[in-house]
Copies of this chain bind each other. A is one copy, B any other.
Amino acid sequence: MQQVTRQDVARLAGTSPAVVSYVLNNGPRPVAPSTRIRVQDAIETLGYRPNQLARALRSQRSNTIGLVVPDSSEAFFTELVHAVEQAAFAAGSLVLLGNSRFDRRQELRYLESLASMQVSGILLVRSESGESETEGRDLADLGVPAVYLNHRAPRDSGATSVLLANHRGGSTLTEHLIAHGHRRIGCLTGTAPSGPVFDRAEGWAAAMRAAALDPSFVLRTGLDRHSTREQVKAWLQGPEPPDAIVATADGLALDALSAAQEIGLRVPGDLAVVGFGGTGPSAHSWPPLTTIGHPFADFGRLALETLTSVQKQAQSVPDHVLDVDLIVRRSCGC
């Protein structure tokens, strides 16, 4: 099954290969209407489809961007990926997705693969673990414009990032619970020493301090869901149980919710629980989760715009921080 080339089209249309290009690209030079029609007919009858590899090789632009995330099956990343895809599609670009599986080596492998596929830019959501090691240099080495997503760019890298207002979100949630009359507001979080989840916890702590409440009332859990639930149960049945929980991610909140229900606690009656993320599952729990929603569509658009600026300008592009908003549902007691 031979590939149909531009030559074949030209032959059938009785013209030169160049003209076929001009028709396909609407330029860079004009084509007589009659010729254009002959060419279009030839394309149609032959079922000609331009070889994008050749096109990209020649023109040095692939109209393809790379997106690397830790795990696109986690709700947050799922939505993020979708948003980027939509924005890219609208801009006529294709997205190549890579899952780093929270593994630095895998991440690097993908970055190199993408770079060698000549993507025109890379969007990277770094995994949160292994923060301060072989930082920054990686993206710069690639020789491809890149933007960090959901994570501050490494200090010395000069790279740009697009972020969400995590700190502000953490405070907002906490203030909402305080307004509900809660005082023993615990923070349920992972163990990351920095990054978005850390910022959320910081936001909680800031709001606690501002209300003269205890900013060290924290439960740090592992990554495994089963042990998380056991830890939460122990906390709730311990000597000083919280009367409200701010979880730094929806998944964590959902785990806390079911853990509480397993030991007979009513939510929000006995315990208020709020999450962070606003992705699908949070709306379908019982009770539905009060949480912080992310403007994913804006995020995707902004990520692409920022990448475009980075591509054009040699000098550094400023970071962007997108605002987040409180989604009030039932689990807070509203």
Contacts and interface: CB of A to CB of B under 8 A. Distances in A.
Given A1-B143, A73-B82, A255-B284, A52 B225 contact: no
Interface string A84-120: 0100000000101101000000000000110111100
A117 B284 contact: no
Interface of A: 1, 3, 47, 49-54, 56-57, 62, 72-73, 75, 78-79, 81-82, 85, 94, 96-97, 99, 112-113, 115-118, 141, 143, 225, 254-255, 258, 261-262, 280-281, 284-286
A73 B225 CA distance: 20
B262 A51 contact: no
Contacts of A73: 75, 78-79, 81-82, 280
Contacts of A116: 49-52
A118 B51 contact: yes
Main secondary structure of the interface of A (DSSP, over half): helix
Contact of A72 (B1, B52, B72, B258): B72
A146 to B, nearest CB: 12
Nearest to A229: B284
Given A97-B97, A258-B284, A281-B281, A53 B49 contact: no
B286 A53 contact: no
30 contacts: A1-B143, A3-B143, A49-B115, A50-B116, A51-B118, A52-B113, A52-B116, A52-B118, A53-B53, A53-B56, A53-B57, A53-B117, A53-B118, A54-B57, A72-B72, A72-B78, A73-B81, A73-B82, A73-B280, A78-B78, A82-B99, A85-B99, A94-B113, A96-B96, A97-B97, A258-B284, A258-B286, A261-B286, A262-B286, A281-B281
Contacts of A143: 1, 3
Nearest to A78: B73
Contacts of A112: 49
A57 B262 CA distance: 59
Contacts of A281: 281
Contacts of A262: 286
A94 B94 CA distance: 15
